């Protein structure tokens, strides 16, 4: 089954889009930190670390918002968890 074919409510779709954007942003920030570690650039690492922490908070907030929506509206059928288990649990 294609995830695009799932019957999701509009709020859930918006929350999933926010979560996806937060995951990408955080992944890029972590990648930057990893590259700085590999280069041994302690000063640049220290400067980049707050952004990574900020993106982690943004990701966690998006994940919690989606979980809250599922609990409050009971609109998820279990199909989303099948496709995105590590993101929403």
Report pLDDT digits (tens) over 53-78: 999 999 999 999 988 988 888 776 55
Distance CA 79, CA 3 (A): 8
Confidence band (pLDDT; 50, 70, 90) for 9? confident
CB neighbour list of residue 22: distance below 8 Å, 6 or more residues apart: 55, 58, 59, 61, 62, 63
Q: What's the confidence (pLDDT) of residue 11? A: 87
Q: What angle do CA 57, 4, 25 make, to 5 degrees?
A: 25
Confidence band (pLDDT; 50, 70, 90) for 8? low
CB neighbour list of residue 88: distance below 8 Å, 6 or more residues apart: 19, 63, 66, 67, 70, 80, 81
40 pLDDT exceeds 50?
A: yes
Ordered by start, the domain boundaries in the chain are: 10-88
Q: What's the confidence (pLDDT) of residue 76? A: 63
What is the end-to-end Cα distance of the chain in Å, rounded? 21
50 pLDDT exceeds 50?
A: yes
């Amino acid at each position: 089954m294609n995830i695009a074919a799932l019957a999701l409510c509009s709020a859930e779709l918006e929350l999933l889009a926010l979560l996806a954007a937060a995951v990408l942003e955080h992944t890029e920030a972590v990648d930057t930190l990893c590259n700085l570690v590999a280069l041994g650039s302690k000063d640049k690492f220290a400067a980049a670390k707050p952004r990574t922490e900020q993106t982690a908070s943004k990701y966690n907030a998006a994940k919690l918002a989606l979980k809250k929506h599922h609990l409050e509206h009971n609109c998820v059928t279990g199909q989303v968890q099948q496709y995105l288990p590590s993101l929403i649990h």
